[in-house]
Amino acid sequence: MIQLNNNLRFCPQCGAQSFSQRCAKSLVCSECGFTYFHNVAATVTGFIFYQNKLLLVKRGQQPCLGMLDLPGGFVDSAESNEQALTRELMEELQLTIDNRQYLFSYPNTYTYKDVTYPTLDSFFMIKLNVLPEIIMQASEISDYCWLNPHEIEPETLAFDSHKKALQAVLALL
């Protein structure tokens, strides 16, 4: 079972120190019965290719500061995967896309400030015809690069789901 958070002990509703994780997705207060469902968060990720080179970014924030990452991010409420992908690529890279193909999804976890979020990561293929001008969002990205996907060392990627997805994409190329 994924440990969602080891520090949350006080019930947000009644204040008793009786709040604990009950199962993989919920925390429950044994005093008042308050239940918080820590559901899976959706993310979107782009495999963005230009002339057989794959776009990678270097993470400018925790978790995994400084490691290589594929562009993307969390899906907001009331947003589709496709809308989230378009928004994230615009925010992170000032990149506008005119095509995308859904590939597959992998589960993952994302820990931020001692809270672990189970995620479901959806991956898309994007093929660019023109080398784009990239303007990085400095708060999230410290650098970017175009790499031959066959030469990427999996251990340099920040997230396990991305390592699996890269292997799956290499099999498609």
Binding site for Zn ion (CB under 5 A): 11, 13-14, 29, 31-32, 34
Cis peptide before 107 (omega within 30 of 0): no
Q: How far is the CB of 104 from Zn ion (least distance, A)?
A: 40
- Alpha helices (H) along 52-153: 81-93
Cβ nearer to Zn ion, comparing 31 with 160: 31
Q: How far is the CB of 111 from Zn ion (least distance, A)?
A: 25
Cβ nearer to Zn ion, comparing 37 with 171: 37
- Residue 78 gets the label, from left (phi > 0), alpha (psi -120 to 50) or beta, of left
Instruction: Check if the beta carbon of residue 71 is closer than 8 Å to that of residue 123.
Output: no
Residue 163 is encoded by which pair of tokens?
């390592």
Neighbours of 54 (CB within 10 A): 22
Cβ nearer to Zn ion, comparing 13 with 137: 13
Q: How far is the CB of 5 from Zn ion (least distance, A)?
A: 16
Q: How far is the CB of 25 from Zn ion (least distance, A)?
A: 18
What does DSSP say about strands 26-29 and 53-59: parallel, antiparallel, or unpaired?
unpaired
Cβ nearer to Zn ion, comparing 10 with 112: 10
Cβ nearer to Zn ion, comparing 20 with 137: 20
Secondary-structure breakdown of the chain: helix, strand, coil percentages, each rounded to the nearest 5: 20, 40, 45
Q: How far is the CB of 125 from Zn ion (least distance, A)?
A: 47
